Amino acid sequence: MSEPRVILLGTGSARFSLDRAAPALAVLGNGAAVIVDCGDGVMRQAMLASLEPASITGLLLTRLDAEHTLGYGGLVLGGWSRGRRELRVCGPPGTIAFHRKLLGDLYAADLAFQQSLGMAGSGLTDARLLDLDEAWQGDLGAIRVQALPVKGPFPSLAYRFDLAERSIVVSGDAAYSPALVALARDADLLVQAATVSASPLGPLDSAERIYSQLGGHPVSPERAGKLAHDAAVRHLVLTHLLPGADPADLKARAATEFAGRITIGDDLREIVA
Ligand SMILES: [Zn+2]
């Protein structure tokens, strides 16, 4: 349990498919576990990965769009129903409002009913919530976390975890930037989106153009490779993949920029840092 590692819970995107669940992963180490992003179905994916949801007391969101949050209520309520008694949530500005709208408004009657049956409120109604609009550093249990605002169509964050002399960076949907290079500097593991890749569901050039219009940050495998190279990370993991993405093609394209180890993510794969 203590060896620093990542479990990829969902390596897909907003384009749903049976091959890849929506974006989510777990970071484990120092006897603790946190979840980064809560794509649809994250609760079930965590249990399939043999993670006990009640033991997950830290949730981090990279952005608040549906792609990354549809499973949030399921994980928060599911972990609570299984006995979680504390919870810390961090995310971009709007995270507190999102949590309170969902649990303090939309599901308020349901939660009041469950508490009337004897469910304790701790681990839910006393969740500690944090909106991060600037670089931040803190501890989630035994895991040291740095958060960095990054460019995107929505307020977005990338995270670095330092634990047991290993470092893991999860960049979310963020594309290459000097600040992201600095965050990822010398990391053992960089988990990076490579959403813009060849897919039978749509031509690559249209995806590149859409991303460009959204803020000039296409997340191609080549750019992921350049980020890994410039930050001198040891191991690059590509995730957030479109249906039909060809792993061999992704790897070859990332390798044009990065000579280190490259792994193309699969759901439920565990990767030691
Ligand atoms: Zn995304």
- Hey, what are 78's tokens? 């599911």
* 13 C-alpha to ligand 1 centroid (Å): 6
* 142 C-alpha to ligand 1 centroid (Å): 27
Confidence of residue 216 (pLDDT cuts 50, 70, 90): very low
* 176 C-alpha to ligand 1 centroid (Å): 15
* 39 C-alpha to ligand 1 centroid (Å): 9
Give the model confidence (pLDDT) of 128-186 as tens digits. Answer: 999 999 999 999 988 999 999 998 778 999 999 999 899 999 998 888 889 999 999 99
Separation between Cα atoms, residue 144 and residue 160, nearest integer Å: 8
* 26 C-alpha to ligand 1 centroid (Å): 16
Q: What is the pLDDT averaged over residues 41-45?
A: 97
Give the model confidence (pLDDT) of 236-249 as tens digits. Answer: 999 999 888 899 99
Per-residue confidence (pLDDT) for residue 198, from 0 to 100: 52
Q: Is 138 helix (H, G, I), strand (E, B) or coil?
A: strand
* Distance between first and last Cα of the chain: 13
* 119 C-alpha to ligand 1 centroid (Å): 34
* 63 C-alpha to ligand 1 centroid (Å): 8
- Least Cα distance to 141 among 87, 95, 187 occurs for 87
Q: Is the pLDDT of residue 208 over 50?
A: yes
Confidence of residue 207 (pLDDT cuts 50, 70, 90): low
Give the model confidence (pLDDT) of 99-129 as tens digits. Answer: 999 999 999 999 999 999 998 889 999 999 9
Q: What is the pLDDT averaged over residues 249-271?
A: 96
Q: Is the pTM of this model over 0.85?
A: yes
* 227 C-alpha to ligand 1 centroid (Å): 18
* 208 C-alpha to ligand 1 centroid (Å): 15
* 155 C-alpha to ligand 1 centroid (Å): 12
> What integer best gives the mean pLDDT of the chain?
91
Q: What is the pLDDT averaged over residues 9-19?
A: 92
Separation between Cα atoms, residue 24 and residue 226, nearest integer Å: 23
Per-residue confidence (pLDDT) for residue 3, from 0 to 100: 87
Q: What is the pLDDT averaged over residues 252-258?
A: 95
Looking at residue 74, the DSSP 8-state letter turns out to be: H
* 92 C-alpha to ligand 1 centroid (Å): 14
Q: Are 147 and 89 in contact (CB under 8 A)?
A: no
Q: Is the pLDDT of residue 214 over 90?
A: no
* Helix, strand, coil shares, percent, the chain, to 5: 30, 25, 45
Give the model confidence (pLDDT) of 187-204 as tens digits. Answer: 999 999 988 655 545 555
* 112 C-alpha to ligand 1 centroid (Å): 33
In the chain, % of residues over pLDDT 70? 91
* 244 C-alpha to ligand 1 centroid (Å): 17
* 136 C-alpha to ligand 1 centroid (Å): 21
* 173 C-alpha to ligand 1 centroid (Å): 5
Q: Is 42 helix (H, G, I), strand (E, B) or coil?
A: helix
Relative to beta strand 128-131, strand 88-91 is parallel
Q: Is 78 helix (H, G, I), strand (E, B) or coil?
A: helix
* 79 C-alpha to ligand 1 centroid (Å): 23
* 23 C-alpha to ligand 1 centroid (Å): 7
* 15 C-alpha to ligand 1 centroid (Å): 10
Q: What is the pLDDT averaged over residues 228-232?
A: 98
